[in-house]
Each structure stands twice: as structure tokens, then as C-alpha cells.
Amino acid sequence: MRFRNRFVTLLEQENEPTPNPIVDASPEDERAAMASTLDKGATPTDYDVPAPAPRADVEKQQQVQELKNWISQIDNFIEMLNAPKPTSMQSKLHSAQCDTMFDDIARSEKKKISRLAAELSALSESLKGYLISSNT
């Protein structure tokens, strides 16, 4: 039994990491070591490098704002083309009197306007997906 206890103690001691003064040095120790190698008048702080500005975050925020602006403009154009409001292009063409220029446009371009509004709506939704994914 005594042999077993001694054996376990020896195994536990072997598994304990031995401190390495080079790897485990504190920042203060590293500065002191660096200071001892510098020329007179030079200090370790002379070699400090400022942290870079978070440029990627700034660019991302600018792109998010521009994307929101694009989405807003596309949605406004969709409203102008195909909204159920009396001021939209489709509403005005649909309510045009017979034998007028708007009636001719309605007959020949109604499907194209609807298709364009649907494509723009799909683009807007796709861009909104990118906007949502940028927030995660």
C-alpha cells in the first residue's frame, strides 16, 4: 500500500508542468529584458505600436448605411410602379379612359411593368437578406 501511494505521488509530480521562464514571462519581465538590450536613451515604450483603428467595422457600417439607402430607393420605385395607391403607375394606367395615350400604354406595357416590379421586389428582398446577415 505504501508503495502505491509513493508511485502515485511520483506520477503526479511528473505531470506537473515545469515553469519555463522564457514562455511564462510576465509582460513586466519582458519589458525589463528588452530594456537591458537597448541602447542608452532608448526605452521599450519607444517600440510600442499603437493598435490599429477598427477599419473593417467603419467600412462595414458605411456599407450597411449605403445598402439601406439602396433598399429604400428600390422600395420607393416599386411603390411608384405597382402600389395599390391611386398615384402609382399601374393604378393610373388601369383607370385610364379609352382611346387615350395611357390606355395604349396600359395595353402594351402592363405586363412589363408588373414583371419589372416583381424583379425589383425580389432584388430588394435579396438585399434585405444581406443586410440581416451583416448584423449577425
Structurally, the chain folds into a number of domains equal to 2
Question: Which grid cell is 71?
Answer: 433598399
Q: Residue 28 has what pLDDT?
A: 82
The number of beta carbons lying within 10 Å of the beta carbon of residue 59 is 10
**Residue 6 clears pLDDT 80, i.e. is over it:** no
**Residue 13 clears pLDDT 70, i.e. is over it:** no
Same domain, 15 and 71: no
The arithmetic mean of pLDDT across residues 31-58, rounded, is: 79
Same domain, 66 and 42: no
Range of the domain at 68: 55-134
Distance between CA atoms of 107 and 131, rounded to whole angstroms? 38
Helices 55-82 & 101-134 angle (0-180, nearest 10) = 160
Sign of the Cα pseudo-torsion (9, 14, 20, 25, in order)? negative
Cα 2 to the chain's mean position, in Å?
63
Q: Residue 15 has what pLDDT?
A: 62
The arithmetic mean of pLDDT across residues 6-34, rounded, is: 71
H/E stretch holding 134 reads: helix 101-134
pLDDT band at 76 (very low <50, low <70, confident <90, very high): very high
Same domain, 101 and 129: yes
Q: Residue 1 has what pLDDT?
A: 56
Of the candidates 38, 117, 49, the one whose C-alpha atom is nearest the C-alpha of residue 81 is: 117
Q: Residue 69 has what pLDDT?
A: 97
